[in-house]
Amino acid sequence: MIRRHGATLRALLFATDALIAAAVALGLHELRFTLLPGEPAPNLFGTPALALLVYALAWPAILAVTGQYRLRARWSFTAQAAGIGRSLVWLAVLLFAALFLTRTGDLSRAYVLLLLPAQGIATVLGRLALHLLLARLRGAGRNTRYLLVVGGGADALALTRRLERQAVLGLSVVGLLDDDPAAMLPGVPHLGPVDAFEEILRREVVDEVALCLPPADHARADAIATIAQEEGKIVRLPLPAGLPGVGRALIEDLDGLPVLSLVRGPDRAAALAVKRVADLAGALLLLVLLAPLILLIALRIRLADGAPVLFSHERVGRHGRRFTLWKFRTMVPDAEERLAEVEALNATRGAAFKAPDDPRVTPTGRFLRRTGLDELPQLWNVVRGEMSLVGPRPAPPREVDGYAGWHRRRLSVRPGITGLWQVTTRLDEHFDDRAALDLDYIDRWSLWLDLRILIRTIPAVLRQEGS
């Protein structure tokens, strides 16, 4: 199983099974000892909350030991039910062993007889519901990662067929590049020759690249891998079985097919999942806490500058995904139409545009920009999963079109409301300086680094160091 995607799915399954176990144990407790009293409630560990926690973690641990988190090529309801049934046997053995060793004699036999089948049924139904939910999300294009296959032949065919069987991974083949116009993969569009690689990266949303070129094309494969890694893409190379590891690259398994994955930048699935949860929780909390301030700013803009209060603009997100970014309006309503008038005021060399004395900015907008308060509506972009609390700032398409190859690695992570550049320097003499800081953040990323940046953002806002 490809580690990056498999680890996330296993973590999701583990969390789901733990929640279901807690719900089943608690629900049966209420049913047996509250609604139908007659026997004392069990108190296996002395503290009911501790007993519930131990049980909720023990059940998915048993499932893990018995191999119920190994993702298979095809999801089967009967296979899931059989595997969970075997795990129930272990649960029964361990449960009765714990009762014997702790000499707990007040546990209702009726409760145990209800708990075991209820746990099995609830787990199977939970797996089914999760499978259907993931299938629906994948079908709607949510949380899908797009793979570009470079080179045809047997390796490419084997890779795409296995990806079809492992649809739960959420990897979708966006197209094939091959010098033979007649090269075909079932259901995969032919996007052009191999030399069109850079053009396709700029035109299509591509998260990962699979190199299936023949050994004779190793020079072109090396050049393509270099370009892809510069832009922060994951590069995967299907390999013959038994090939040893290469440097820091990862040898992973896709349904029996060895794949070499060259990963640059954040690739810790569990930590990235925690980052997303922290983003969602943090954004929702800030939206609630800052609601009075947000309403006050909106009222001020409406009274001083008129409608509209919000400004929306298309930005480029992770690996080229377009999304609508929201900000409080800080410019005159026709600012976009007047862009050509102020291009000569650009104080930044390179792809970005920044004019400190932009005449299109309103008096209220200048204050909001200095304090960074104009960015508050982007908390909604974070909730939607288009942005993160911390990351490189999202750029408009016209700026991305001017990126050099190494600049595009900024697009390998979700863009953020604040970032390393905002808390270390505000100098904008050259876009390359900002891009270098963004790449330094990507290469050194950790949850601890995000926390430090968020903490350092507060004094930066109070000092009014915004743009």
Q: Domain of 150: which CATH number?
A: 3.40.50.150
> Is residue 50 a part of any domain in this protein?
yes
Cα–Cα distance for residue pair 231/233, rounded to 1 Å = 6
pLDDT at position 106: 53
351 lies in the same domain as 250: no
Same domain, 28 and 171: no
Residues 60 and 151 in one domain: no
Of the residues 204, 239, 264, the one at which a domain ends: 264
Q: State the total domains in the chain.
A: 3
Domain boundary among 139, 161, 176: 139
| 238 & 345 share domain | no
Residues 206 and 303 in one domain: no
- For the chain, 467 residues long, give each residue's pLDDT as a single digit of tens: 444 556 667 778 888 899 999 888 888 877 765 655 555 545 444 456 777 788 888 888 888 878 787 765 456 678 888 888 888 888 888 877 776 666 655 556 667 778 888 998 999 898 888 878 877 776 665 667 889 999 888 778 888 887 777 666 678 889 999 988 877 888 889 999 999 999 999 889 898 999 988 877 888 888 999 898 888 888 888 865 444 444 446 666 676 677 767 666 665 666 777 888 889 999 999 999 999 999 999 999 999 888 899 999 999 999 899 999 999 999 888 777 777 777 766 666 666 666 667 788 899 988 998 888 999 999 999 999 999 999 999 999 988 988 888 888 899 899 999 998 888 765 556 788 888 889 889 888 888 889 889 988 888 776 665 55
Domain co-membership, 280 together with 349: yes
Which H or E run includes 33? none
Q: Does residue 259 belong to any structural domain of this protein?
A: yes
Regarding whether 320 and 411 lie in a shared domain, the answer is yes
Domain for residue 293, yes or no? yes
Q: Is residue 467 situated within a structural domain?
A: no
Sign of CA dihedral 22, 28, 29, 30: positive
Domain limits for position 396: 270-462
Is residue 72 in some structural domain? Answer: yes
In a domain, 199, yes or no: yes
pLDDT at 393: 92
Residue 414 resides in a domain: yes
Please check whether residues 70 and 122 belong to one and the same domain: yes
Residues 224 and 169 in one domain: yes
Do 173 and 66 belong to one domain?
Answer: no
pLDDT for 109: 64
CA distance 65 to 58: 10
CA distance 454 to 295: 23
Closest CA to 38 of 111, 130, 129, 100: 111
DSSP state of 188: B
Given 113, 139, 165, the domain boundary residue is 139
Nearest-angstrom CA–CA distance, 63 and 68: 5
Within a domain: 372 = yes
Asked if residue 134 and residue 202 are part of one domain, the reply reads: no
Q: Indicate whether 204 and 90 sit together in one domain.
A: no
Cα 150 from chain centroid? 25
